């Protein structure tokens, strides 16, 4: 499968190099646009492009601007001003974007600018070339003519999920959401069974049923690794709001989206829309990996590549997933990162997939990675590694993940699929068990179901860890087998790769009363150390309040931590020896 995938990548590159793509956006640049750094630019050197970066780094905004490029489409459909979040324009620097597309061998540049109109404050229109933006041609070119398919998988909910989980329920005739759904699913079943347009209270409660073709059904089956005999889709508002329902038929079971996984529903919708798209469409996908198992993500990419070869689509994908971009050419990956000086986002146009995930802090580089849950722990471990010498420094990189211990425990479901050289060092207060769960020491009857293993995982992590399975409500046997396999893999990874600092929190390790008194006397001799102690209930507060007393504000807190860590390193106490031994263990 890998060899076929790489072969198709090469075919796709040849098609691009030989100018087979006639309706193609070559690049887009942003003289002034939202939170992107001025004059940012993305080049589309490969027909499939990935936008990679942390949440809030401008990826979705970029997808939406691409949506607004072709004729008949407007960014105002997604980005509009409100009283709460007004869109401000500054002097001549209007929000705008410029893109280049080929026409008869030459590249035409089109600029789209946000223009305020009384009846439409979010109107975007093509404008005359603007010289200060480097547009040398004086001719105003027409926008590219291309159909657009835009899918945001974080909001692509089934009709059932939308109603049951997000809509407020009120009804004079139904006691609960369940009663409401029981009644209206009868109407939905009638629409599926008869292909009628339902008119209950109001006319046209649904659109005609769509039956996926054999080719579409086969692709969905391949991606999800399930054998579907037929798949049907209906758009309707029987559940109060317009949404999509699906009905899936397998050899021994039929079910709707109410029992399908959200990943199943998303794949059905995606495959149908891609199959329905006209040739040379612009396909924009926002986080298509949502609720998809890693294997399904890889098979989805294989499908997209084949469709690009067949129908000459241009695809742009915003993603956090390493599985989607694995084995893709460097020129297809665009990395969004933040400038520390201005907070603006910059775009790197040529990064390989391992480098790209530096921005997501789960990359697999040549160095071993140590993940920690707070900044003090990062400084403590970095200084210990520094003390052990340059050879040790060359082995490790320490990263602080701000989401907390629960977030790291969940991220491990992805990290364990990528690398064995990523380790976690939690604060001591996260240690729930004296020894990690070791399946080799447990009798088979204590680990023969996924439920038992998930209870073991919770006893060790203190939280419910969610695994994304390959499809939704597949046969119970297959689902249980896969869930059992992932849970075992998680526990084995935890046993090998997760460790704890001594004491409850890293501030307990580095706090030194004598050192603090000495430093305070040196820095602020007029200050009373006893006041710091009175206002502090733990070592973290002691350090924070010490910083306030010494420097007058909290801006120097990290510097204060560094001072105490350096003092701790020089003492080489028993806790230092524990941390040093841990680092040496990870080296080997």
Per-residue confidence in pLDDT tens, the chain, 588 aa: 568 889 999 999 999 989 888 889 999 999 988 888 888 999 999 999 999 887 777 888 899 999 999 999 988 888 776 666 666 665 567 888 999 998 767 788 999 988 777 777 777 888 888 888 888 777 788 899 999 999 987 666 777 777 776 667 777 788 888 888 888 888 899 999 999 998 888 889 999 999 999 999 999 999 988 899 999 999 998 888 888 888 989 888 887 766 666 678 889 999 999 999 999 999 999 988 877 888 889 999 999 999 999 999 999 999 888 888 888 988 899 988 877 667 788 888 866 665 566 555 554 457 889 999 999 999 999 999 999 988 788 889 999 887 789 989 988 988 888 788 899 999 999 999 999 999 999 998 999 898 999 999 999 999 999 887 765 456 788 888 888 999 999 999 999 999 999 999 999 999 999 999 999 888 888 888 888 888 889 999 999 999 888 888 888 888 899 999 999 999 999 999 999 999 999 987
| Cα(306)–Cα(520) distance, integer angstroms | 67
Give domain status of residue 361, yes or no: no
Q: 428 with 556, same domain?
A: no
Q: 8 with 127, same domain?
A: yes
| DSSP structure class, residue 162 | I
Task: Determine the pLDDT at residue 279.
Answer: 95
* Cβ pair 404, 373 in contact under 8 A: yes
Q: Is 424 left (phi over 0), alpha (psi -120 to 50) or beta?
A: beta
Q: 343 with 373, same domain?
A: no
Give domain status of residue 203, yes or no: yes
| Cα(441)–Cα(168) distance, integer angstroms | 49
Q: 381 with 522, same domain?
A: no
Backbone angles phi and psi of 331, in degrees to 5: -70, -10
What CATH number does residue 110 fall under? Answer: 3.40.50
For residue 32, the enclosing domain spans 2-152+314-319+331-350
Give domain status of residue 109, yes or no: yes
Considering 451, 471, 500, which residue would you say is the last residue of a domain?
Answer: 500
| Cα(487)–Cα(410) distance, integer angstroms | 12
Task: Determine the pLDDT at residue 358.
Answer: 56
Task: Determine the pLDDT at residue 69.
Answer: 93
Question: What is the crossing angle of helices 214-224 and 294-311, to 10°?
Answer: 150
| Cα(274)–Cα(279) distance, integer angstroms | 10
Q: 402 with 496, same domain?
A: yes
* Cβ pair 80, 353 in contact under 8 A: no
Give domain status of residue 119, yes or no: yes
Give domain status of residue 382, yes or no: yes
Q: 485 with 462, same domain?
A: yes
Q: 29 with 131, same domain?
A: yes
C-alpha closest to that of 359 among 32, 51, 7, 152: 51
Q: 141 with 6, same domain?
A: yes
Q: 28 with 92, same domain?
A: yes
Task: Determine the pLDDT at residue 264.
Answer: 82
Considering 465, 500, 535, which residue would you say is the last residue of a domain?
Answer: 500
* Cβ pair 233, 188 in contact under 8 A: no
Task: Determine the pLDDT at residue 193.
Answer: 92
Beta bridge pairs of residue 151: 285
Task: Determine the pLDDT at residue 128.
Answer: 87
Q: 37 with 124, same domain?
A: yes
Give domain status of residue 396, yes or no: yes
Count of C-beta atoms within a 10 Å radius of residue 416: 18
pTM for this model (two decimals): 0.62
| DSSP 3-state of 247 | strand
Q: 145 with 11, same domain?
A: yes
Considering 500, 515, 547, which residue would you say is the last residue of a domain?
Answer: 500
| Cα(37)–Cα(521) distance, integer angstroms | 46
| Cα(232)–Cα(218) distance, integer angstroms | 13
Look at the chain and report how many structural domains it folds into: 4
Task: Determine the pLDDT at residue 509.
Answer: 97
CA-derived radius of gyration, the chain: 28
Give domain status of residue 272, yes or no: no
Give domain status of residue 521, yes or no: yes
| DSSP structure class, residue 436 | -
Task: Determine the pLDDT at residue 48.
Answer: 96
Q: 106 with 216, same domain?
A: no
């Amino acid at each position: 499968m890998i060899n076929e995938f790489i072969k198709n990548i090469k075919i796709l590159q040849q098609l691009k190099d030989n100018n087979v793509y006639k309706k193609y956006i070559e690049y887009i640049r942003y003289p002034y646009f939202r939170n992107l750094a001025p004059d940012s630019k993305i080049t589309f050197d490969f027909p499939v492009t990935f936008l990679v970066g942390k949440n809030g780094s401008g990826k979705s905004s970029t997808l939406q601007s691409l949506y607004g490029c072709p004729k008949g489409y407007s960014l105002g459909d997604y980005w509009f001003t409100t009283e709460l979040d007004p869109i401000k324009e500054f002097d001549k620097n209007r929000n705008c974007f410029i893109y280049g597309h080929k026409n008869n061998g030459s590249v035409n540049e089109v600029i789209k600018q946000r223009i305020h109109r009384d009846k439409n404050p979010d109107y975007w229109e093509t404008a005359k070339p603007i010289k200060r933006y480097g547009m040398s041609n004086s001719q105003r070119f027409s926008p590219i003519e291309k159909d657009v398919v835009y899918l945001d998988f974080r909001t692509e909910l089934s009709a059932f999920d939308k109603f049951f989980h997000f809509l407020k329920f009120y009804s004079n005739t139904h006691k609960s959401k369940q009663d409401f759904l029981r009644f209206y699913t009868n109407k939905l079943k009638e629409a599926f069974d008869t292909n009628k347009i339902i008119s209950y209270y109001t006319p046209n409660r649904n659109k005609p049923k769509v039956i996926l073709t054999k080719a579409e059904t086969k692709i969905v089956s391949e991606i999800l690794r399930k054998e579907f005999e037929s798949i049907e889709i209906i758009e309707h508002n029987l559940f109060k709001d317009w949404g999509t329902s699906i009905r899936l038929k397998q050899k021994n079971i039929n079910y709707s989206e109410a029992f399908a996984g959200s990943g199943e529903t998303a794949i059905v919708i995606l495959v149908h829309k891609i199959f329905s798209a006209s040739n040379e469409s612009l396909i924009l996908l926002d986080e298509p990996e949502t609720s998809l198992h890693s294997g399904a993500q890889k098979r989805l990419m294989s499908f997209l590549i084949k469709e690009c070869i067949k129908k000459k689509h241009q695809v742009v994908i915003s993603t956090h997933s390493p599985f989607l971009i694995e084995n893709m050419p460097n020129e297809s990956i665009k990395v969004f990162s933040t400038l520390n000086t201005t907070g603006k986002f910059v775009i790197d146009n040529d990064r390989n997939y391992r480098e790209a995930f530096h921005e997501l802090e789960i990359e697999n580089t040549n160095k071993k990675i140590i993940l920690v849950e707070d900044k003090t722990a990062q400084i403590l471990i970095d200084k210990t590694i520094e003390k052990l010498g340059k050879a040790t420094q060359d082995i490790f990189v320490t990263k602080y993940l701000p989401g907390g211990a629960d977030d790291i425990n969940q991220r491990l479901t992805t990290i364990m699929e990528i690398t064995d050289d990523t380790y976690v060092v939690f604060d001591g207060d996260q240690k729930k068990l004296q020894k990690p769960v070791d399946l080799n020491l447990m009798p088979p009857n204590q680990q023969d179901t996924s439920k038992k293993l998930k209870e073991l995982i919770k006893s060790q992590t203190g939280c419910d860890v969610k695994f994304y399975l390959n499809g939704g409500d597949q046969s119970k046997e297959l689902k249980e087998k896969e869930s059992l396999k992932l849970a075992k893999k998680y526990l084995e990874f935890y046993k090998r790769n997760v460790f704890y600092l001594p004491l409850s929190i890293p501030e307990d390790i580095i706090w030194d009363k004598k050192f603090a008194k000495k430093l305070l006397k040196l820095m602020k001799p007029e200050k009373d150390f006893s006041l710091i102690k009175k206002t502090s209930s733990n070592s973290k507060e002691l350090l924070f309040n010490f910083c306030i007393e010494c420097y007058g504000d909290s801006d120097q807190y990290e510097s204060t931590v560094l001072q105490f860590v350096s003092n701790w390193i020089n003492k080489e106490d028993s806790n230092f020896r524990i941390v040093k031994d841990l680092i040496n263990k990870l080296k080997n």
